[in-house]
Amino acid sequence: MMIWKHPSSPVAKKFKVMRSAKKIMGTVFWDSGVLLFETLQPGETINAARYCQTLDKLREAIHRKRPGQLTNGVISQHDNATPHTARVMQGWLEKYGWEILPHPPHSPDHAPSDYHLFGPLKRELAGKRFDGDEELVDYVRKWLRNLDGSFLRESIYSMVRRWQKCVDRLGCYVEK
């Protein structure tokens, strides 16, 4: 951008740029309680193989937290991101007999994490400062652990109402 000015014009002030907060990618799986919460290391990304490893951890967590509960025939939901739809992922799902609920594109109203969990978490974290990533992750882990089971169940049960609205509107986006 070019700005024309007179030689006697005052020098433009440079404002000190503040670094924005780093982001940490977290994944949460729950039913009536949190089953698994994990974060990615800085620079790590999700691909299909990494997502399969996460689901292996989820199966282990189910065995640990719900002894005797089957981990075959699970119904789960995730969006249509490439790691979730890749061939290796489809093979993993077939191997363990997991069913994935279809997820309409661009429909956060069908993603319980987006509409029910992350809003309250963002409000909880608003204005707080942490000395490092580990302190933040520990805080979130504790917050998740202290969530009331009815809060999480309501999220899952409300999906039925949201799905019905979507069906009634012939697949159109449903805000609330």
Residue scoring higher pLDDT (122 or 165)? 122
The domain locations on the chain are 26-168
Burial 78-107 (b: 16+ CB within 10 A, else e): bbeeebbebeebeebbeeeebebeebbeeb
Is residue 39 pLDDT above 80, yes or no?
yes
Average pLDDT on 135-149 reads 93
Is residue 45 pLDDT above 60, yes or no?
yes
Please, are residues 32 and 152 in contact by the beta-carbon 8 Å criterion? yes
Is residue 162 pLDDT above 70, yes or no?
yes
Is residue 176 pLDDT above 60, yes or no?
no
Q: Angle, to 10 degrees, between the axis of helix 133-145 and the axis of helix 118-125?
A: 130
Average pLDDT on 25-37 reads 88
Query: Would you place residue 37 in the very low, low, confident or very high pLDDT band (cuts 50, 70, 90)?
Result: very high
Query: Which CATH fold topology does 26-168 show?
Result: Nucleotidyltransferase; domain 5 (3.30.420)
Determine the pLDDT at residue 102: 74
Average pLDDT on 169-174 reads 68
For 4-22, the pLDDT digits (tens) are 777 777 777 766 665 656 7
For 68-127, the pLDDT digits (tens) are 777 777 888 887 788 888 999 999 999 998 988 777 666 656 677 777 788 899 999 999
Question: With the CA atoms of 176, 116, 119 and 42 taken in that order, what torsion angle do they form, in degrees rounded to the nearest 10?
Answer: -130
Determine the pLDDT at residue 174: 62
Average pLDDT on 19-46 reads 84
Radius of gyration of the chain (CA): 21
Determine the pLDDT at residue 172: 67
9-16 long-range contacts, Cβ below 8 Å, gap at least 24? none
Determine the pLDDT at residue 143: 95
Is residue 142 pLDDT above 90, yes or no?
yes
